[in-house]
Every structure is written in C-alpha cells, then in structure tokens.
Amino acid sequence: MTINNLAPIPDKQVSFDEEEMIKRSESYFQFMDKRRSVRDFSDKAVPVEIINNILKTASTAPSGAHKQPWVFCVISNAELKNKIRELAEEEEKKNYAGRMSERWIQDLLPLGTDDVKEFIEIAPWIIVVMKKSYDFDSAGKKMNNYYVNESVGIASGLLISAIHNAGLVTLTHTPSPMNFISKALNRPENEKPYLLLPVGYALENCAVPDIERKPLEEIAIYYK
C-alpha cells in the first residue's frame, strides 16, 4: 500500500513494556509540570544550535494533509526586536485602555501582566510563529492548506515543550491585532502571525505566579 504516492517505510517508533511506559509517562509529566511562563528574562546568549533543534522538534508536528503550514521567524537583531516591542506595546496599550473587558483585566492581575513588553528586547531570541493559510507550487499556482490553526497550534505546543526540555524559558505572547508583525518582518500575504515567543534563560532569582493546574478529575472524562 502506498500513502499519497509515497512508498511506505518501516515505523521507527520505539516501544516499551508497560512498567517502563508508566514510569516514563509519570517522569515526563513531573518534568513538564515544572514549566512556567516567565516574564523576567536574562540577556545571556543562547547558541543558535539550540534554537535550530527546538524548531526541528516543532516541525515534527502532524498537520492537515502533511502541508506543514508554518514558518518560524527567528529574531536576534536588536534593532528589529526594539521595533517589534514598540509596535506590540502600542497595540497592548489600546487593549488595556478599552479593547479588553474589565473582567479580563482583573483575571490577568494575579499573573502580573500589563502593556509593558520589555522581554521582547531582553530575551536573546524571539520566535514568531506564522501560519500559512495557503501556499504556492513551483509554477506560482495557489495550493490549499488544511486545518491550519489546529496544525500550527500543535506545532506551537511541541515548540514550547522543546524549549522547556532544552532548559530555557518562554512566554506566549499574542498581541491583538498582530498584523504589525507581518509588516515589520516583511512577510508575504499568505502568512499571518500566530504566536510570539521570547526564548532565553530566566533572570536569576526570577519569580513566577504560584499557580496550580486543574486536577485530572476536572479535565478528563472517561467513558468505560
């Protein structure tokens, strides 16, 4: 049997006995449960090889019809980061001044977020995840992409996990609207900003909100 005219290859996934599977799944949960969104970044340099590896990990995500409708814009240029910060804060000021409901603003208070986004300049790397609503073939003909938001969302989740696995920290930033990012980066019309992630080391003695995740019984319903 062929898949999309591609010759099948042997499955390379590894398998474990049940005892090892339970051990590994628990260990991975404990590791990921330590992940937190960080707003206080160090400007300590991060080797580009690490960034390359986490991006390659993100690109292993499944996608609709295997179209891989994502582009990762990776920014270390100080002048460009400064420009993006200024534009992001301009939009955020508008959000806090009236676009966001009072209830929304109150819900954000315990997390310590506001319209100041200095992390965009301080973090050594900024990754802007772009979603591609369509592509073009070699002849310039428009080609559809499928389940774009879902596919890019899964890739972003893997990206965040890979950042944590590398010993780095990040923060999901979604200034709305985000069209200013497309213009600042001079991206084509078929790409739209999906997520902005500062990536780097946490500032020494950095503090994060004392949050708790919902317990399993509140997030999972088993039908047996």
| Domain CATH for 162 | 3.40.109.10
Q: Which residue has better confidence, 112 or 214?
A: 214
Q: Residue 57's pLDDT band (boundaries 50, 70, 90)? A: very high
Give the residue among 187, 213, 217, 221 at the shortest CA–CA distance from 74: 187
Q: Is residue 27 part of a domain?
A: no
What is residue 111's predicted lDDT score, i.e. its pLDDT?
67
What are the tens digits of pLDDT across the range 208-221? 888 899 999 999 99
Question: Kindly report the CA angle at 194 between 188 and 200, in degrees rounded to 5?
Answer: 105
Q: Is residue 167 part of a domain?
A: yes
Q: Is residue 170 part of a domain?
A: yes
Percent of the chain with pLDDT over 70: 92
Number of structural domains (the chain) is 1
Count Cβ atoms below 10 Å from residue 192 Cβ, excluding itself: 16
What is residue 4's predicted lDDT score, i.e. its pLDDT?
57
CA atoms within 13 A of residue 46's CA, in its CB half-sphere: 27
Domain that holds residue 180: 38-202
- Region 121-140 average pLDDT: 94
CA atoms within 13 A of residue 184's CA, in its CB half-sphere: 20
Judge if pTM exceeds 0.85: yes
Q: Residue 77's pLDDT band (boundaries 50, 70, 90)? A: very high
Question: How far does the chain reach from its first CA to its final CA, in angstroms?
Answer: 34
CA distance 67 to 135: 9
CA distance 122 to 36: 18
Is pLDDT at 92 greater than 70 in this prediction?
yes
Q: Is residue 142 part of a domain?
A: yes
Burial class (CB in 10 A: 0-12, 13-18, 19+), 210: exposed
Q: Is residue 20 part of a domain?
A: no
Is pLDDT at 18 greater than 90 in this prediction?
yes
Q: Is residue 212 part of a domain?
A: no
- The tokens for 111 are 């997390």
What is residue 2's predicted lDDT score, i.e. its pLDDT?
42
